[in-house]
Amino acid sequence: MRDPKLLLLALLGVGNEQQIRGITRFQKLVFLAQNEIDDLQTKGYHFDKHDYGPFSKDMYDDLDGLISTGYVEQETTTTQSGNDRYTYKLTEKGGEYIDDLLASDKIRSELKTAELEKLKTEYGGAPILELIKRVYQDYPRYTTESKLEI
């Protein structure tokens, strides 16, 4: 199995907007990618039921690792309600790394970059509640610990 961190980098690297706003959104995009893209070669994250649906501690830890090694940048802003919102972007180092990998047709095919881009385009800028609602509807077994009533 390919390193699951490549899925995080690929999700950041595909599409016009090379960032993902919010850790909850990032978690849900990875969850959907692993569960809905046929034959995705990177299926390394285990998701548990959590406050806002599926959550992977390993994915969270890998993202922190990518930040600490300089592949991903995390920007923190404060929402109107006073909560922290994180935006994740590839650094120059991360962008060059994933671009080099994706230059290979084999790697692009294994990571299903066209499907990742479609998923990111559909939900990357959508209201977060719309994305969560979609996940809750299609994967109700992950909603039993939720703080949200959707």
- Name the CATH architecture for the domain at 5-138: Orthogonal Bundle (1.10)
**Non-local CB neighbours of 126 within 8 Å, separated by 6+ positions:** none
pLDDT of 16: 77
**Non-local CB neighbours of 107 within 8 Å, separated by 6+ positions:** 101
Q: Tell me how far apart the alpha carbons of residues 139 and 28 are, in angstroms, rounded to a whole number.
A: 11
Contact status, residue 58 vs residue 46, Cβ threshold 8 Å: yes
State which residues of the chain have pLDDT below 50. 1
DSSP code for 55: B
